[in-house]
Amino acid sequence: MNKKVLLWGGIAAAVLLCLCVGVFILGAGVTFFGLTSSEEPQDVSVDISAPSQATVGQSFDLLITINNFAGRSRELNSIDVDADLLEGLRVTGTTPPADSYDTFGFFDSYFFYTSLPANGTAEVTLHLQAQAEGTYTGWVDTCIDDEASCVRRTISIAISK
């Protein structure tokens, strides 16, 4: 076979491979961005109260207070917890109880589908247990009306033995 044909065939194969890899990386990036990006909802505020320190084995609560300033009812869709927090903490339950739960690898979601009254306040408590020594920092998203409209708050908890 001719060396030119082999050379051009090799170049064509390399270009095709690069295109395929590029499309894969672009698709993965778009998917990741779509799953992790959100727009903060209007007329809602979220406050999180949690201890800054705990000891391994200790149980404690993370209180989420949601204020709906809209003149209409809204829906608490879900509360999402960053996997970085879950490396040292375990969620043992929620109050009110979540309707369902799912894990997405880099965060866990607790779905509530609960009505937030117009101009009202609601509270959700995540019951946690400290699992491993270290300082754990991550985000908690409170998603209103759908899973892409979230208020993000970052917390940090130092766990000692």
Hey, where are the domains in the chain?
1-37, 44-160
pTM of the model: 0.76
Inter-residue contact 63 to 97 (CB < 8 Å): no
- pLDDT per residue over 9-46, tens digit each? 667 666 666 554 555 554 444 445 445 556 899 999 99
81-132 pLDDT, tens per residue? Answer: 999 999 999 999 999 999 999 999 999 999 999 999 999 999 999 999 999 9
The hierarchical CATH code for the domain 44-160 is 2.60.40.10
Strands, sheet with 74-82, edge to edge from the N-terminal-most edge strand: 53-55, 150-160, 134-144, 74-82, 107-116, 100-103
